[in-house]
Structure 1
Amino acid sequence: MKSGHRWLIFLAAAIVLCGATGVLAMQPPDGANVVVNEVPDRSLDLREMLRAGGAVGYLIVMLSLVMVALIADHVMNIRRSTLMPPGLAEEVHRCLAERNFDEAKKRCREHTSFLARVLHAGLDEIGVGYNAVEKAMEDAAAEQMARLYRRIEYLSVIGTIAPMLGLMGTVWGMIQAFLEFELKANPQVSELAPGIYRALITTLLGLGVAVPSLSAFAIFRNRIDELVAEATLLAEHVFADYRRALQMRKKSRERTSPE
């Protein structure tokens, strides 16, 4: 099984585990005494949770949809075959060996990928020397890596905002519950419970979005670090023969030059 498939399975398992944990947390313990005739079943369904969450709950649900779309997009784009198209390094290496630099640039322009942009930056400095080529590739790799980080940064933002929105909804719901409790003539403590549990729904929704969002952000960040390092090393290997050829010509000129 490929490593890319393994971490996708791990992400799906983590999301399922978080959902299962949330469901189990809402179930009563085995030893709890439940009076069937006096206490009705209060298990929560999604419709009731959304109704209790109010406007803040719907906003958190919208964030969850954005999160799912972002994860799907990153799964398709942050992978080895997308950042490093198969055969591109071999084609550019062959063109360099034939000193057909225009053809090498054309091959890079045909692929809008991380490796293609790094190689194209190096090819633009091909007549200046290898030091300039290496510096151009390092700058291009740093720029492309920053762009990849900015794309996944939205998952971190969602993972930070969602629980804050949930907390805000909970605080507002608690205020409403206590205000309603205060207006009653002879209030009972049990009358306060419905308002409190409804207020806590938004916190549950916020955490339900934050956990998979931050988990996906960490996985994609590590994935980017791994693929960027691999692509940068591959780009250096593409220019390895060109660098050796320059060094040999330089040594040959030094031997033949008069003292």
Structure 2
Amino acid sequence: MHTRNNPSMIQTLLRGFVRLSACALLLAGNLMVVAPMHAQEPAAPAAGEAAAPEVHQHTLMDRFREGGWVMYPLTLCSVALVWLTVDLWMRTALKNMAPPGQVSQVQDLFRAGDYVGAYQFAKNNNSYFADVSRVGLSFVGEGQNAVEEALFSELNKTNATIQTRINYLSVLGVCTPMIGLVGTVTGMMSAFATLGTSGVGDPSKLSGAIGEVLVATASGLAVAVPAFMVFYILRNRLQGSMHGLQEIVSSLFRKMPYEHLKDAHVGEEEFYAALPNWVAGGNDGAAVAVAV
């Protein structure tokens, strides 16, 4: 009798163990599926607990206030950067330095031999090409060397005038990081003062001081980097435009008949130099010459 019941009991135990194992595996699988779903959902606040604060998105004005007082001079520098960039980009364009209409008109007057008319046209028009041409025409009576020296001097003057304005971009590129560094130093001083008075118990004040440090530094660099980039771009652009202007003006005065224009006074500039007074004074001039 015991020999019959023992196999049946063992089979019963085995079936129970298999069923229990299957239930455990099924439960574990359900937990693995449900757990990530609950992990993605924010936990609901329990009764009596305050809801978690929402994350505040900082606007541009918030960043401006965080930067402190240095944001005001940096804003002025950024406005100056934009204004200089637009102004110098227009000034360094060859078509603005030597307008095609003015070049064509002066060329026609040169072909007709009307140098007085060319001088009047250059005087009545405002451009770097007109200024250089006017100066060159006012020296045609002095000979070729005088004209070339006058053109060279006027071209250098034009280049120096524009280059001086371009150099202001380099000044902005150097000064704005220093202004941001001043804001960094003042922000660090404020942060250490906050640590000295309230310690780390008030993180909002400490974060505000640290925010001033970071925003001031970043703002200074944000103005300096474009300023240096525009500085080098405009400097190279100016060199190319000056070469073009020099070629246009040189082509005008090439083959100039200086022998027919000797001692001619084309321009309207007044000459102040005259003969020495003792040459016209006769005996009085001799006395002056002795005194000298």
Counterpart position of 2:95: 81
Separation in structure 2 between the aligned mates of residue 186 and residue 45 of structure 1, nearest angstrom: 26
Q: Which has the larger radius of gyration?
A: 2
Q: Does 1:215 align with 2:229?
A: yes
Contact 2:81/2:227 (8 A) holds in 1: yes
Shift of 1:48: 1.3
**What root-mean-square deviation, in Å, do the aligned CA atoms of Structure 1 and Structure 2 show?**
2.7
Letter in 1 for 2:237: R
Letter in 1 for 2:86: A
**Stretch of structure 1 that moved more, 165-174 or 103-112:** 103-112
Separation in structure 2 between the aligned mates of residue 137 and residue 68 of structure 1, nearest angstrom: 33
Shift of 1:77: 2.8
Separation in structure 1 between the aligned mates of residue 148 and residue 237 of structure 2, nearest angstrom: 24
- Output the TM-score relative to the length of structure 2: 0.65
Counterpart position of 2:142: 128
Counterpart position of 2:282: none
Shift of 1:246: 4.6
Letter in 2 for 1:53: G
Separation in structure 2 between the aligned mates of residue 41 and residue 121 of structure 1, nearest angstrom: 68
TM alignment of 1:155-174, pairs within 5 A:
155-174=169-188
Say which SS state the counterpart of residue 72 (structure 2) adopts.
helix
CA 1:195 to 1:132, structure 2 compared with 1: closer, same or farther past 3 Å? same
Counterpart position of 1:49: 63
Separation in structure 2 between the aligned mates of residue 39 and residue 194 of structure 1, nearest angstrom: 18
Separation in structure 2 between the aligned mates of residue 209 and residue 152 of structure 1, nearest angstrom: 16
Shift of 1:229: 1.0
Aligned length: 212
Counterpart position of 2:109: 95
Letter in 2 for 1:153: N
Structure 2, gaps ≥5 residues long: 1-41, 44-51, 262-292
Separation in structure 2 between the aligned mates of residue 200 and residue 39 of structure 1, nearest angstrom: 24
Shift of 1:95: 2.4
Structure 1, gaps ≥5 residues long: 1-35, 250-259
Superposed CA deviations along residues 136-167 of structure 1, whole A, max 9, x for unmatched, are 00000000111111122222212211111001
Say which SS state the counterpart of residue 211 (structure 1) adopts.
helix
Counterpart position of 1:232: 246
Q: Does 1:203 align with 2:217?
A: yes
Separation in structure 1 between the aligned mates of residue 78 and residue 131 of structure 2, nearest angstrom: 33
